[in-house]
């Protein structure tokens, strides 16, 4: 019987022959399907729905651009080295208390540990949240935990020589901080993968979601072994609003290893690509062994919660820019909420990448 590693190497070889991108995905995420979110005290339709991952998977597989593969279970310890282990266990336990179909929205956002003594589970969740837009359901822990396995399995395939791997993570992760959920995110899938690789080599994270990845910055801000570079809408007008400024460059050992490129509203592809080229120069200068792209399709002009002006075909040009760095790359899904455009945007993105292999990395 083949070991997981041997099976992964065998699969990696197969994709090379097929010239397709490995696409790590599963259906577990459908158990996390919040219908409403609270914004400024009012309820709205929740945009982070299961169809987001479904339409991307369907489009890439039907176009023969990607081969779907299932995630492999990885140990909790990898997540517990990135997030507060109490935070992970809290989410796991509180989700079991929620009845099927119900949604638990955090309330009374407070860092005071006394909140954890409350009889009201919404107040207890509020201790581990920085906003009300990441509600919990019975299946949220399983979905968020699976999203980490999807990113980590994607990393395994890059380690084994796949040049590009797409990790179809849902829920997304780049807003999740050390012990706080928010912005539709619970565990930081991209940072969990980056941390897992960090004992083996240098990792550059390139965040191309419309929103600043406050969680990814928070978790890597004092680290020199993980570079975080982000292109995002200026926090002066865009979520999360409290991070993403140019002067945030890291602290302590991490000083000089955090770079933010805030963008103006309604900017189109020409201007976007010149900022992306600068961001890629920062990545290449770091001389990483691995790049992890947090890819968000909410920079699309039709996205219902964002204000940039990119078209579906522009994602191919963005991917080509990333590809031109010539580095092994794990692409981790973050945002993107225009369901009618997600499939074609993802197809354009993957078409901009060169399938193939790089040398398997040492373990
Ligand atoms: Zn976003």
Q: What is the pLDDT of residue 194?
A: 98
128 Cα to the center of ligand 1, angstroms: 20
Please check whether residue 173 is in contact with residue 181, taking contact to mean a CB–CB distance below 8 angstroms: no
| Count of other CB atoms within 10 angstroms of residue 298 | 27
pLDDT, residue 1, reads 45
How far, in Å, is the centroid of ligand 1 from the Cα of 295? 9
CA–CA distances in Å: residue 62 to residues 68, 142, 327: 11, 27, 27
pTM listed for this prediction: 0.94
Distance CA 88, CA 62 (A): 36
For residue 247, give the nearest of 235, 237, 239 by alpha carbon.
235
252 backbone dihedrals φ, ψ, rounded to 5°: 55, -135
Residues 117, 133: Cα–Cα separation, whole Å: 23
| Domain boundaries along the sequence of the chain | 4-69+143-351
Handedness of CA 173, 174, 179, 184 (dihedral sign): negative
- Phi and psi angles of residue 218, each rounded to the nearest 5 degrees, phi first: -55, -40
Which residues, given as ranges, of the chain have pLDDT below 50?
1-2, 363
Q: Closest Cα partner for 328 from 160, 105, 135, 124?
A: 160
Is the distance from CB of 162 to CB of 360 less than 8 angstroms?
no
Q: By the 8 A CB rule, do 126 and 116 touch?
A: no
Whether the CB-CB separation of 294 and 216 falls below 8 Å is answered with yes
Between the CA of 362 and the centroid of ligand 1 the distance, in Å, is: 34
Each residue of 3-39: pLDDT tens digit?
Answer: 555 555 666 555 555 568 999 999 999 999 998 776 7
* Confidence at residue 16, expressed as pLDDT on a 0 to 100 scale: 52
Helices 314-323 and 339-351, packing angle to 10 deg: 40
- Distance CA(148)–CA(105), nearest Å, equals 22
At 111 the pLDDT is 82
- CB neighbours of 39 closer than 8 A, spacing ≥ 6? 132, 133
pLDDT at 355: 74
Say how many Å lie between the CA of residue 251 and the centre of ligand 1: 25
CA distance 126 to 137: 15
Residue 299 Cα to ligand 1 midpoint, Å, equals: 8
Please list, in sequence order, all residues whose beta carbon lies within 8 angstroms of the beta carbon of residue 190, skipping any fewer than 6 positions away.
151, 173, 174, 205, 207, 213, 216, 292, 294, 332, 334
The whole-number pLDDT of residue 362 equals 57
Dihedral sign (CA 23, 29, 35, 38): negative
User: In 3D, which of 150, 212, 155 has the Cα closest to residue 360?
Assistant: 155
Q: Which of 244, 274, 276 is nearest to 349 (CA)?
A: 276
Residue range 4-69+143-351 in CATH 3.90.1150.10: no
Tell me how far apart the alpha carbons of residues 262 and 275 are, in angstroms, rounded to a whole number.
9
Q: d(Cα 224, Cα 162) in Å, to the nearest integer?
A: 26
Across 57-163, the runs of DSSP E, i.e. the strands, are 66-69
87: left (phi over 0), alpha (psi -120 to 50) or beta: alpha
Active site residues: 175
Distance set, CA 264 to CA 202, 214, 328, 345 (Å): 31, 18, 30, 21
- Res 360: pLDDT: 75
């Amino acid at each position: 019987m083949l070991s997981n590693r041997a099976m992964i190497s065998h699969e990696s070889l197969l994709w090379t022959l097929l010239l397709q991108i490995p696409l790590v995905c599963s259906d577990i995420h459908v158990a996390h399907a919040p219908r409403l979110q609270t914004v400024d005290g009012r309820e709205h339709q929740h945009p982070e729905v299961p169809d987001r991952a479904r339409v991307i998977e369907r489009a890439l597989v039907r176009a023969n651009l990607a081969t779907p593969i299932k995630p492999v279970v990885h140990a909790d310890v990898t997540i517990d080295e990135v997030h507060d282990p109490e935070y992970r266990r809290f989410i796991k336990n509180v989700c079991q208390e929620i009845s099927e179909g119900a949604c638990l929205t955090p309330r009374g956002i407070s860092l005071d540990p006394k909140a954890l003594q409350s009889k009201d589970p919404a107040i207890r969740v509020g201790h581990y949240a920085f906003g009300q837009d990441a509600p919990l359901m019975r299946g949220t822990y399983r979905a968020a935990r699976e999203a980490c396995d999807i990113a980590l399995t994607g990393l395994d395939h890059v380690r084994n020589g796949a040049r590009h791997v797409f990790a179809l993570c849902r829920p997304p992760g780049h807003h999740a901080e050390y012990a706080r959920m928010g912005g539709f995110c619970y565990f930081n899938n991209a940072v969990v993968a980056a941390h897992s690789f960090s004992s083996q080599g240098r990792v550059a994270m390139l965040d191309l979601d419309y929103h600043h990845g406050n969680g990814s910055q928070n978790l890597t801000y004092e680290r020199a072994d993980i570079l975080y570079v982000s292109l995002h809408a200026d926090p002066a007008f865009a979520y999360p609003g409290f991070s993403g400024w140019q002067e945030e460059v890291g602290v302590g050992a991490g000083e000089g290893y955090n770079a933010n490129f805030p963008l103006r509203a309604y900017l189109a592809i020409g201007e976007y690509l010149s900022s992306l080229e600068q961001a890629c120069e920062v990545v290449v200068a770091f001389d990483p062994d691995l790049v992890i792209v947090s890819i968000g399709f909410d920079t699309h002009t039709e996205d219902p919660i964002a204000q940039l002006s990119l078209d579906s075909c522009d994602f191919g040009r963005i991917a080509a820019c990333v590809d031109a760095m010539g580095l092994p790359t794990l692409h981790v899904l973050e945002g993107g909420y225009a369901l009618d455009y997600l499939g074609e945007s993802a197809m354009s993105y993957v078409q901009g990448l060169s399938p193939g292999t790089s040398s398997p990395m040492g373990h």
